[in-house]
Every structure is written in structure tokens, then in C-alpha cells.
Structure 1
């Protein structure tokens, strides 16, 4: 039965991926349709498939398509997705409170909130809308900076008959958003810090006056109460919000401990607890803000205005007024305002903000300045420019190929912002741990209040001990340890042209032991180069090259173009004769007339099928020797005489061998090349660059099986490719890594990690950064859990009181945050 492809952008235009709730809704609605016997999602060769089983006697494929489109349209109207930027989220625990509060709002199906200010939502549009969501956010004390940074992606589904299935793929859309991370309040973004300092000042003055006999005791008490107010303001607010949702978290524990100290008359200790806790929060917010600003700086790379040519004039316009096809003028030493191609002028451009390249890249104009380049997919790097990059000392004219909201920079900013809402495995573990740990602490504290019934002490002593345990057991450091490291790692990577899509790929990349590489364009240049010229008979190399270039100049075959390009370079401006009467011979080569001679160029099989002398055994041996070294060979015959052999090869990247050495030093034990080329070519390339394995003659589906086999052997493996043809293999790997993602929408969307520049040497940096992040996350985890494990028995035994406990507790919180911030200064030393 004929296969029919449905374009699901018409059906589900706002769906992040195939696991989305909307896909379930689509499946459920289609199941209700008469004639569709079974509708389900399955994974085949790593690709998620929407399978439609139907009775062709009851329903036609056209009817199936219509049903899918109608169901999808209804679902698209019903379910929405949004990425909103807010300010006022103070720390990770506050982000969790916001997420829990949003999920309690009628109509919101899923909410993920980052401490950096990004809110990702999935909602039922029949029950709520954008204004209701914005109102809920404002009621939570948040200010909306960017009301919607859309997270729209597309699904493509093909529906077939009984054994046919539908492929689900993802593509993306991006929009720009402003990035201002402040913390509102009476004193603006520093309100919590000022409140904390006021708390400390009142505590210090009150404590000092308590030693002055002339000052009444009520004066110090009043100052302590003032310290309680300022130090406990945010803590109490968050504790009330938490209790209102029927749960208990760290802020509640701290508030109870402070109130308990006041009940016992230990106002100074309670005020000290709130002072250090609020100061820790404020400094934590300040430290985390450094990582946020590193990400926010990405959005400020693009200029706000551009010089557009219109009617012979140059007019300054806002970048959101630029349209595809416009010509903009980029003056020397200014930022480029849009993605596009150079149509006039030449010079160097600093692309470091996008691709991480340390050296400026030379740019040249395209051959056809009047062509619409927006639909062109294979634009050369020397012609393409990106928004936010810095022009050198020359003036360029650029044809805009993408609107500002869809530029590579905008997509990068959006994807980094989305990444902030994704939890890493360690963060999921710590959240789950806290969920059970906090109630357990509360039970322990209640039991400790009755310790006076078992041991010889007053109730006040038992109560004080229980309050000290409350402080000691509050896992503040644990809550912030992983998010701070993930945020810092993602920010540091983005600064060097590496997009890491969240905590999971950041952690997974750090534990890899094997890498699988696509060959063409990843380990090799991706285009054939003339590697050897072998002369036979009496002809010298110059004459042989001239004949080959003259004949191949008539052909548009990629190998012919490589011979012309590299041969002309070798001949260095010499006059090249003109050939004529090009003719393809049996699909194995070509022949042409050069002067009075007939010249043949092709493989050995060509000459075995032609009239005339067959190649001598010695010549065939030379051809086979070159091919065994990975070359593609062309044998040249002039009239009846074999005059030479030309060898071409997709040569390894110059940086491939040193990069693999660096990866080996990082602990990558297996490095495997997967290629569709024959095994001889694979082995030759592997030997040149130092791979541990080379698997050749693989079809695309066999690459998937190869990755699966590698995972069985070494457990964790990354697939490195261009993100387009390698998408199924990437999906089967632990981590999918795409190179050259700045020029590829598909690569940006399909990979877990995208190397924005087409630079293989960026890979060791990304892996080294992830290893460092993994170590820091582990250090933070042990540090935060170790402090809790140490303080709980010390406070239960009465060795540590509230004062020392809170100092160690808050000190550990700041320590893990600043330990995580070390990632922002990471340098690649591999």
C-alpha cells in the first residue's frame, strides 16, 4: 500500500517532542475514529513512530490524513506551550515553590522553573490562557520580563497501512527575549541583602547593648525583634507559601528553629540564625546571578539597529524591521545585525561569540549577489555571517537570510534558556532525597522534644536541642549544589560556542568512555582532494595535470571539480589547454578531445570494457596500492597509451589527530569511526589519525546498530556527527553531539550537545568541562551531605548549639555555590 506523509506542522505546531502530552491526546482521539484499529507510539531504529493500523475497506488513507489533521488542529487549539522569563526568583528552592504553585493553577499541566528566571509551561487552553498564567506569576511576586519566548517545534508523521509507520521528528523555532535578572523589593534587586544587613546591624547593636547595665533589657529585646523582622521577612513569606501547599521545606525548618529560640528566650541566637540564613540567601542569589549574567550576555550580542539599503539610500532601522532579502551595510568594527550572506566587500569577522573560534574568519562575497540565498542550505563558511559577530576593518554588504527572531543567536539564546529548566540526574536525586528527608527531620525533632522523659534534663533543654537539630538538618547546601554547577557549566560552555541542553547531557558527557564518529565532514574535510599524481610512459607531471584539468573542466562531477581546483593550484597560473567533445563512457569515466588526441579518464573497469589495450599488470598493481591506502583513483589514457594515475581522497582534518590525542588523555578509551566508505578507506583514515576502531561499509541503519553494539560493550558512548544524517545514531547514543550547528537548524534541534563552530578541537573542551562539572557536582554533594551528617549527631549530643550549627550550615551553602562558580573560569588544559 502506498505510503502517505502527513506534515504535522499543520497538526501539532507547538509540541516540544514526541513524549509530550499533546501526542498522547492525538493518539487517544484517533483511537476513537471508526476504521482505525490501533494507534500507538513505538520506537524503531531509534526513531519514534506514530503507527496507524486501519482497515482499508472501512477507511482510506486520505480519510486517515484528514482525521489526523482535524484531531491535531483541535489539540493545537486546546494545548499550549510557553517559555516565559521572569524576575524575582531568589534561589533554587524558591523556583521549586513557584513550579509547585503553577501546577496547582487550573489548566496548567506541567511547569518547570529555573532559579535563573525561566519558566516553561504546558497548559490546557480551554481552562486557562496567557493572561491567567501571567496573573498567577504576578501573584507569586514575580515580574514578567519576556511574556513568551516560544518553545515551538514541529512533528512530522507519515501514516501507512498495516505494516507502515509514521516517523516523528523535531525541528525548532526560536525567538529573541530580553534578559534582565533583578530581584524586586523596597530596595530594588538588593532588597534581600539590605534586609539581611539590617538584621545583622540590629543584632549587633542589641547584643552590644545587652552588656551595658545602664540600658534596659527591653531595648536589646526590641532590636532583636527588629532583627527577626528583617532577617525572617523572606524566610517567613516562603514558609507560608510552602505550608499553604501542604508541604514543608528548609525555610519552614529555619523559621521554626528561630521561633523556638525566641520561645526559650534565646533571642540573640534566633536573630543570628535568621541573619546568617538571610545573608546566605542573598549572597547565594548574588553568586548565582554571575552565572545568569553570563547567559544573559548572549542576548546582548546582537545590535539593536541596522543600516538597511533601500532606494539607493542607507537607512537606520530596528533589527526587528529587517526582512529576509534586505541588504544591510556593516561598517568596520561594528556588530553584524542579522544572519546572512556577504554580497559585497570582503574582510575578516570575529565569530567567537557564536562559534567559539579564537581567530577571525575571512569572508568573501557570493558569486551571485542577486540570488535569494534564504532557501539555500549549502552556503560556504566564507560567504555566511551570523548576527552578533564582529566585523573587522572593512565594509561589508550582507543579504539577510533570516529574520532577527529566527537568527542563530536567537535560537542559541532560546535553547540555553530552555536548558536551564532541565534537571540533571543528580538534581532529580537530591530533590527526591529532600522530599523524604525533610518530613523525617520533622519527626525526629518532635521526638527530641520528649527527650527530657528519657534523660535527666529540663524540657527547655530538650526543646533547644531539637531546634539546633532543625538547623543542622536543613539541607540548604544540598538544594543549591547541583543547579549552581549546571547553570555555571552551561553558561561557560555557551561562552565558547558549545550548546549543552541541560544538566543531563552535561553530566552524561562527563562519564563517557567511548566516542563514535561519523567520517565525512567530521573527521575528514568532507570534500575530495588531489593527493597524488603518478606519471607513466614518457609524460611528465605538468603535462599530465594540464591534460587532466582540461578534460575534467568540462564535467560537473564532484571529483572532476576537485581535480580542476587542486590541479590548477599546482600548475600555478600556467596556461591550460581547452578540451572539447566531452562524453561519458558507460558511467565509469569520461573521454574528450584535446587537440588531436583522445583522452580517457576513469576507473580500471572503464578500460576493461573499451576497445584497445587493457591496463598492464604493473599499472593495476599501482592502482590497487593507492586504493588500499584509501584513495579514489582515476587512470588516464591518451589515445592507446596509459600516461598516468590521479589519486583523490577525502583527507582527514588537520586537527583530527591532535584532537584524538587530547581525548585519549581525557580518558576516552574507545574512538570508533562509522562510515559508509569501504573498509580499506576506513582503515586508512583510522591509521592516519589514531582511531582505535574503524567500521566501514555501513548503511545508515547499520550505524544505529553499531552504536547499540558499542553501548553494550562500553555502556556510555557519544555519537559525533553533523546532526542531520546521523540523527538516528545520535538518538541511540548516551549523548548526541553535532558539529557545525551554527549553520544547521536540524543539528541545533536534534543534538544533546551542539558545537556551534565546525571545529573538532572544541570537543575536548566540552568533555573536559563536563568532567570538571561532574567532579564539582560530586564534591558539592558530598560536602552538603557531609555537613548534615556531621552536624545532626553533634547537635543531638548537645556538643553544637544553634549558633555554631547555623554558621557551619550557611558556610557550607556558600562554599558549594562558589565551588560551582569555578566552572565559569574553566580553561581547557587537555
Structure 2
């Protein structure tokens, strides 16, 4: 039995990450092959598919061809569609619509968010995109996204269907707020009828007519939803409310029936209005990019739509205007406000690259040369060469990923949905039994019927249905405004529950590039002599440490002349040598000078070296013309914000902070002591980092891993929540992480964890309030203490309190 390992992106090039369902399909397809014993996924960067096969039956080339063919078949067949829609009135309505859309032949999965987003995965061999749109249009939804608006991973090019023009918006004659207006009118007629019922000389007929009108207005949209759910063979809250209202009418209690439907409809309408605030937060992201751009073509500058821009175009960005595309700055110096994308509060200085015509990789381009669509230019004009099409920009991907996140259910939401599926039928059963209470109790049927209707109202779990999704929606929207992408309810809840954090060192806790940290001249030598000699030699080298010495040395020399050096020679594992002003210069470690002089390094020099190395520095001796000039040291220094960030993390409840690095343990200890890491782990190989995460999970239960989202992918995959820092412009980091900090700033981490903690707390509060209200009202109505009117007021009041509580997340501050 032999093994073949293939990169997952080679087999399934369009999938966003290894958690995509198409990976399961690929594994199943490979395992169905007769000569394949096993196929499984291996974590790594990139993820890989490992195939165990019988070499006697299949040649290696044949196995590879089988795998690629299976991947291509799945890529052609399964596609995703992400569309903006209107017509969603509340979260339960969204769930009902998702179930209806999902029943269409060929649709594998459909999810509808209260934020107005539909996500569909479909089998293109059974249904095309036009038919998917038709299935959506047959519900209460109006598609507002353009006909070619694809998101997620769209396996294959797909056929662009109609834009949903024939779909019907369920708003009604007054537009999207029709339900709210109907509810208000229902209340007006109910109140008028109530007042007239106490006025002498007014007969019973007029108030009853007014109550009936209130019932019709308040019950219109409730009836529509009840019919839809009953057609699906389900009995949900809307149906329960209609039954309760009908029961009250049957008893001649028209006033209570009108009150019930008025309050229920106003509750729904206000819930929809409140949820609209969160939807607008996401819509605001989409509006960040300008619709047009000034592009230089054929020697002239003209205005074109951003969708007409092509890679390689040079756009002109005027002062104080929005940047239209992701790209590299080729001319102009300005400060750019990147807060809309990265959440950075201070504008970032931008300057052109040294070679404007050279090809650059945006992922690795320094921040000062890179521009993002949707950011705002400062006071000077810029010229930017377009590196990504409008649909592929960081802003576009951010909007898409936020919308996808809104369609993902959290564990608590899944639990409450499951609870509802059992609870509602149980309530109907209880109400049915209560109808016959008059056979046991000494009371008329009308009293038993009234009690049953009151219990029906009290037991309806409206607040429970909205408690979690409203908090998730608001939390994800608030995070996106701060430049933090949280991919759905599960990461939001999980991040709020972690007590341990693992950090990659290089580039996460440190700046990722060495700096000159110490310059210690020998006795009788000036710092200038030491630095000019070292800089002269290191200028000839292309080693990363050399550039740190040159840059830092010139800063300290403040314009002092540096002599020229030549005849550079690298001395393997020891250092370098060159000639400066006719004199031989050596720079390197102790071994070099012990070999060169035949004696030990002087005690003073050796002491400085030992002290610097203990503090995590890489120390080097400078020796010129048989004379020790002194010691210089470089180190990958901690980020300026690291210490304050770790202190803030302790304040939000992170007990254990582990640093993972391949550097020597002494270096790890030095960095940890400087910034406040509790557990520094050095000298780690990539597989050691994975093992460290597994140990940490065993000890703490939940752990988040923060890194760059690329090199740290295996360890991040093993953590409860993977967090990528500096994800703006990095497609890999955006797609692989559970949480992405768009700015290359560590201090956004306490905000993300604090927000998640707050969201988790609000979800818990909402569950306690919603379930508590049901638990209180059911006994009160069963015992006849609470009637239908008070039950409705308490019921709808709890729903609005729950929504209002969730929307507090939109205003969250650290």
C-alpha cells in the first residue's frame, strides 16, 4: 500500500477553505475508487489530500489523474450563490424562507439571514442559476443584487440568470414599512374601539366593528406567514397567535383578540425595523467604494465605472476622495485614512514604489506602498496602478465574507431552533388538553377555552427565536466597522469563551524584521568609529541582519560620512570580512575571532556578548586591523503596542498567553519578559506548534491562535478559533481564519475578544429573559392569574427588550 499527497487547492481551486462541503464530496469520491483504501485531509499550508492506494492495481500517475478528474467534476457541478434580498420581516421568517428555498430540486443547502442575505449551494447538474433565482423569487423575497453577483466560491463560471424582477416584495402598498403601518392602524382602531366602548350612547356594534378592523389589519401579515408554515406541515408562533385570536373572537372577546394581534404585529414590525439597523451597518460597507474612477488611458484622464477598470490601469485619486481599487502607489505622497477597511484610527502615510513598472505582489508589499478600495485619500493627489479587479478587492471580499458570516448559525442558535421544533408541538398538545379542562374542573367550556388561549399566547417563544440571531447580526456588523472580520456566530461565541491565547512570535508579537538594538564600543574606541566601520562592510551584504545594521547605524550616525568597503567575503557560520580604507575588517561571532587570533575573545567583549545574548539579541564583534572595535547587536523587537495589548487582554479575562516560536528559548524568554507573555515556548518546529496547541486545548478547553494566517495555518486549524492579523490584502488569511484583523495591528485583538465576550453575555441574557418570561407566564395563565391581554403585553415586551439588548452591540466600545 502506497500514499500520494496532493495539494487541496490543486484539486479544488475555487473552494474558500478546507471546511467546504466539496472537500467531503472529494474524499467520498476518492474512497469509492476500488483500488483506493483510504483518502483523508491533512492540515497544513496549503491543506493536502492524502490517498492510500494499492500500487499493484493503480500506478501513481493514474491515482493523480483520478484525483484531479474527481476534483474537476465537483468544481464544475457544485456552485454557491450569495444574493442581497428584501422582504425578510424577522429572523423566524428568514429561517422559514431558507427551508422553503432549500426544498427546490437541485438546491443542496439554502440559508437566509435576517440581514437580508440569501446563501445557496446548488447542484448545477440538477438546476441552473436562473432556476435558483426563480426558486428565491417564488418566496416573499425580492432580489436586489445584480444578476452577476457571485460570492462564496462559485464553482465554475455559471450562467447568469434574471435579476429577480418578477419577485414580489411583501412590503405591500406602503412599501417596506407596510407591516409597521398596518400594525399602527390596528392599534388606532383598537384604541378607538376601546374608548368608544366606555362612552355612553354608543351601541355595542361600533366598537365591535372597530375591533374587527383592528383584527384584520393586525392579522394580515400574521395570516400570510401562518399559511406558508402550515403548507410546509409546520405549526409555528404565527399559527398559535391566530388560533388564540380566533378563540377570543369565538368567546366574543373581540377587544382582546384585537389587542393580541395589534401587539404581536407591532412587535414583529418593530423587530424588523430594529434588525434593519444592523442590516444598514453591513450595507454601509458596500457603499464605501466609489462608483467611478479617474483612469489614465491613451495619454488622457477620463472617468469610468469601477467595474470597467482592468489590472494594470493607472487611476488618479484626488485629495480627500475615495480610492476606487486595490493597487500599488506609483506616484504621489499622501496620508490615507484606512479606517473603513482596517479600523486604524490614524491615517497611514503612503509613498510610491521605487520602480513603478515592476510587478509587485500585494500580499507582501509594505503598507506604505499599498492602497485599498474604499479608503480615503488625504490632502495630496495619488496615482495608483490597479492590482485587483473591483469584484476581487479587499473591500469586496470583506463585504462578501461578512454577508456569508451573517448566514452562519451559532451553536446557541442551532440549540434554540432545535428546542423550538419540539416546544411548539408540545404547546399545541398542552393547549388541546386544556380545552377539555372543563370535564375535570367545575367550570364552563368558555373558561377552559379562554385559559387555553392565554397559555397559547404565553408559551409562544418569539423572544427565544430572535435572542441569538439578533446578537450575532449586531456583533458581526459592529466588528466589521472596526476592521475585524468575524466569520459567523460560532467564532463569535467561541472567541467570547476563550481563556488562553497562543501567539506566533515573528510578525505577530514582534515587528518581523530585525533592528539594530545595541552599539557597545571597546575601550578607547568611539561609537562613530565602530558604526562607520560596521555600516561600510554591511552595506555590501544582502543578509537581513546586514540591512538592519545599515539602517539603524545610519540613523545613529546622523549624516556622518561612511567610508567605502570592498572585497566582501562571507565566512560560513562565522561572519563576514571586507576591506575598508585599506584595512581588513571582520564582523562575526566568537568562533571567528578565536580562529583568527588563536586566543579567546577578551573578557570585556565576551561579557557584553553574553549579556546581549541573554536578552535575546544576536550579538556580533567588529574587528579592524587587529583591533577590537566593540560589539553591535540586532534583534527582532517587540511591536510598540504589544505590551499594552497583552495587559488589556489580561483585563478581559485571558489567563494564559503562550508564545510559539522557532527561535532559541533565550530569545523567546527575553521577548516574553519584555511584553508580559506568561508561557514562552522556543525552538519549535511547525509540528511542535501543533502539539503545543493540542496540549493547551487539553489544559484550558478553548484556545485561540493568532498568527499571519499563512505559515501558522496548521496550528490555527487545531485551535478553537484561528485569528489572522494583517489580513487586508491577503486572500489566504481572509479565507482561512475564523477571525481576521484587517489592520496589521495587535491592539485590535482586545476589541475583538471584548466584543465577543459582550456578545456571549448578551446572548445569555437574552436566553434567560426569553425563557424566563415563558416560564413565568405559563404558570400564571394556567392558574388564571394572567389573562390574554397582560400575557400579550409581557410576551411582546420581552421580544422588543431582547432585540434592543442585542442592538447594544452596535454601539460597543472597548
TM-score range, shorter chain: over 0.9
- For residues 119 and 595 of structure 2, the distance between their equivalents in structure 1, rounded to whole angstroms, comes to 65
Q: Does structure 1 conserve the Cα–Cα contact (< 8 Å) formed by 2:45 and 2:710?
A: no
Q: Which of residues 565, 578, 587 in structure 2 aligns to 1:601?
A: 587
Match of 1:441 in 2: 427
- For residues 130 and 657 of structure 1, the distance between their equivalents in structure 2, rounded to whole angstroms, comes to 52
Q: Does structure 2 conserve the Cα–Cα contact (< 8 Å) formed by 1:9 and 1:154?
A: no
Q: Does structure 2 conserve the Cα–Cα contact (< 8 Å) formed by 1:209 and 1:215?
A: yes
- For residues 364 and 582 of structure 1, the distance between their equivalents in structure 2, rounded to whole angstroms, comes to 33
Q: Which of residues 770, 776, 780 in structure 2 aligns to 1:784?
A: 770
Q: Which of residues 592, 606, 621 in structure 2 aligns to 1:635?
A: 621
Q: CA deviation at 1:610?
A: 3.5
Q: Which of residues 346, 349, 354 in structure 2 aligns to 1:359?
A: 346
Give me the CA root mean square deviation.
2.1
Taking a change above 3 Å as real, the CA distance of residues 182 and 489 of structure 1, as seen in their structure-2 partners, is: farther
Q: Does structure 2 conserve the Cα–Cα contact (< 8 Å) formed by 1:273 and 1:802?
A: yes
Q: Does 1:24 align with 2:10?
A: no
Q: Does structure 2 conserve the Cα–Cα contact (< 8 Å) formed by 1:102 and 1:111?
A: yes
Q: Which of residues 663, 677, 682 in structure 2 aligns to 1:696?
A: 682
- For residues 55 and 727 of structure 1, the distance between their equivalents in structure 2, rounded to whole angstroms, comes to 31
Q: Does 1:197 align with 2:184?
A: yes
Q: CA deviation at 1:77?
A: 2.8
Q: Does 1:226 align with 2:225?
A: no
- For residues 703 and 28 of structure 2, the distance between their equivalents in structure 1, rounded to whole angstroms, comes to 36
Q: CA deviation at 1:587?
A: 4.2
Match of 1:41 in 2: 40
Deviations 1:96-146 (A, max 9, x none): 111111222111121221111111122222222222221121111210112
Q: Which of residues 276, 283, 298 in structure 1 aligns to 2:263?
A: 276
Q: Which runs of structure 2 are paired with 1:403-552 in the superposition (5 Å)?
A: 403-552=389-538
Q: Which of residues 803, 806, 815 in structure 1 aligns to 2:792?
A: 806
Q: Which runs of structure 2 are paired with 1:742-781 in the superposition (5 Å)?
A: 742-781=728-767
Match of 1:235 in 2: 222
Q: CA deviation at 1:148?
A: 5.8
Q: Does structure 1 conserve the Cα–Cα contact (< 8 Å) formed by 2:538 and 2:547?
A: yes
Q: Secondary structure at the match of 1:743?
A: coil
- For residues 404 and 420 of structure 2, the distance between their equivalents in structure 1, rounded to whole angstroms, comes to 24
Match of 1:624 in 2: 610
Q: Which moved more, 1:716-725 or 1:206-215?
A: 206-215
Q: CA deviation at 1:405?
A: 0.6
Q: CA deviation at 1:762?
A: 0.9
Q: Which of residues 548, 551, 557 in structure 2 aligns to 1:562?
A: 548
- For residues 9 and 542 of structure 2, the distance between their equivalents in structure 1, rounded to whole angstroms, comes to 37
Q: Does structure 2 conserve the Cα–Cα contact (< 8 Å) formed by 1:484 and 1:821?
A: yes
- For residues 376 and 455 of structure 1, the distance between their equivalents in structure 2, rounded to whole angstroms, comes to 78
- For residues 803 and 511 of structure 1, the distance between their equivalents in structure 2, rounded to whole angstroms, comes to 40
Q: Which consecutive aligned stretches of 4+ in structure 1 deviate over 6 angstroms post-superposition?
A: 1-5, 45-48
Match of 1:162 in 2: none
Q: Secondary structure at the match of 2:497?
A: coil
Q: Which moved more, 1:476-485 or 1:1-10?
A: 1-10
- For residues 754 and 655 of structure 2, the distance between their equivalents in structure 1, rounded to whole angstroms, comes to 15
Q: Which of residues 241, 246, 250 in structure 1 aligns to 2:233?
A: 246
Q: Which moved more, 1:292-301 or 1:131-140?
A: 131-140
- For residues 748 and 433 of structure 2, the distance between their equivalents in structure 1, rounded to whole angstroms, comes to 56
Structure 1 residue runs of 5 or longer lacking an equivalent are: 156-176
- For residues 581 and 454 of structure 2, the distance between their equivalents in structure 1, rounded to whole angstroms, comes to 100
Q: Does structure 2 conserve the Cα–Cα contact (< 8 Å) formed by 1:325 and 1:372?
A: no
Q: CA deviation at 1:9?
A: 5.3
When normalised by structure 1's length, the TM-score is 0.94
Q: Which moved more, 1:45-54 or 1:444-453?
A: 45-54
Q: Secondary structure at the match of 1:777?
A: helix
Q: Which moved more, 1:286-295 or 1:204-213?
A: 204-213
Q: Which moved more, 1:64-73 or 1:608-617?
A: 608-617
Structure 2 residue runs of 5 or longer lacking an equivalent are: 156-162
Q: Secondary structure at the match of 2:518?
A: strand
Match of 1:95 in 2: 94
Taking a change above 3 Å as real, the CA distance of residues 135 and 408 of structure 1, as seen in their structure-2 partners, is: same
Q: Does structure 1 conserve the Cα–Cα contact (< 8 Å) formed by 2:463 and 2:802?
A: yes
Taking a change above 3 Å as real, the CA distance of residues 820 and 473 of structure 1, as seen in their structure-2 partners, is: same
Q: CA deviation at 1:612?
A: 5.3
- For residues 243 and 737 of structure 1, the distance between their equivalents in structure 2, rounded to whole angstroms, comes to 43
When normalised by structure 2's length, the TM-score is 0.95
Taking a change above 3 Å as real, the CA distance of residues 656 and 8 of structure 1, as seen in their structure-2 partners, is: closer
Taking a change above 3 Å as real, the CA distance of residues 527 and 8 of structure 1, as seen in their structure-2 partners, is: closer
Q: Which of residues 693, 703, 713 in structure 2 aligns to 1:727?
A: 713
Q: CA deviation at 1:363?
A: 0.8
Q: Secondary structure at the match of 1:283?
A: helix
- For residues 751 and 348 of structure 2, the distance between their equivalents in structure 1, rounded to whole angstroms, comes to 20
Q: Does structure 1 conserve the Cα–Cα contact (< 8 Å) formed by 2:17 and 2:736?
A: no
- For residues 10 and 660 of structure 2, the distance between their equivalents in structure 1, rounded to whole angstroms, comes to 36
Q: Does structure 1 conserve the Cα–Cα contact (< 8 Å) formed by 2:4 and 2:51?
A: no
Q: Which of residues 298, 307, 310 in structure 2 aligns to 1:323?
A: 310
- For residues 245 and 447 of structure 2, the distance between their equivalents in structure 1, rounded to whole angstroms, comes to 15
Q: Which moved more, 1:127-136 or 1:384-393?
A: 127-136
Deviations 1:291-340 (A, max 9, x none): 11011100100000000011221110111111111111110000111111
Q: Does structure 2 conserve the Cα–Cα contact (< 8 Å) formed by 1:85 and 1:148?
A: no
Q: Does structure 1 conserve the Cα–Cα contact (< 8 Å) formed by 2:645 and 2:746?
A: yes
Alignment coverage as a number of residue pairs: 803
Q: Does structure 2 conserve the Cα–Cα contact (< 8 Å) formed by 1:330 and 1:391?
A: yes
Q: CA deviation at 1:5?
A: 6.4
Q: Does structure 1 conserve the Cα–Cα contact (< 8 Å) formed by 2:2 and 2:54?
A: no
Q: Which runs of structure 2 are paired with 1:255-294 in the superposition (5 Å)?
A: 255-294=242-281
Q: Does structure 1 conserve the Cα–Cα contact (< 8 Å) formed by 2:540 and 2:566?
A: yes
Q: CA deviation at 1:3?
A: 8.2
Match of 1:164 in 2: none
- For residues 199 and 641 of structure 2, the distance between their equivalents in structure 1, rounded to whole angstroms, comes to 74
Taking a change above 3 Å as real, the CA distance of residues 607 and 3 of structure 1, as seen in their structure-2 partners, is: farther
Deviations 1:439-470 (A, max 9, x none): 11111100110111111110011000000000
Q: Does structure 2 conserve the Cα–Cα contact (< 8 Å) formed by 1:537 and 1:642?
A: no
Q: Does structure 2 conserve the Cα–Cα contact (< 8 Å) formed by 1:342 and 1:398?
A: yes
Taking a change above 3 Å as real, the CA distance of residues 152 and 65 of structure 1, as seen in their structure-2 partners, is: farther
Q: CA deviation at 1:7?
A: 6.0
Q: Does 1:133 align with 2:119?
A: no
- For residues 154 and 217 of structure 1, the distance between their equivalents in structure 2, rounded to whole angstroms, comes to 63
Deviations 1:176-223 (A, max 9, x none): x99xx9963211111100111121122222233334454443333332
- For residues 8 and 38 of structure 1, the distance between their equivalents in structure 2, rounded to whole angstroms, comes to 19
Q: Secondary structure at the match of 2:513?
A: coil
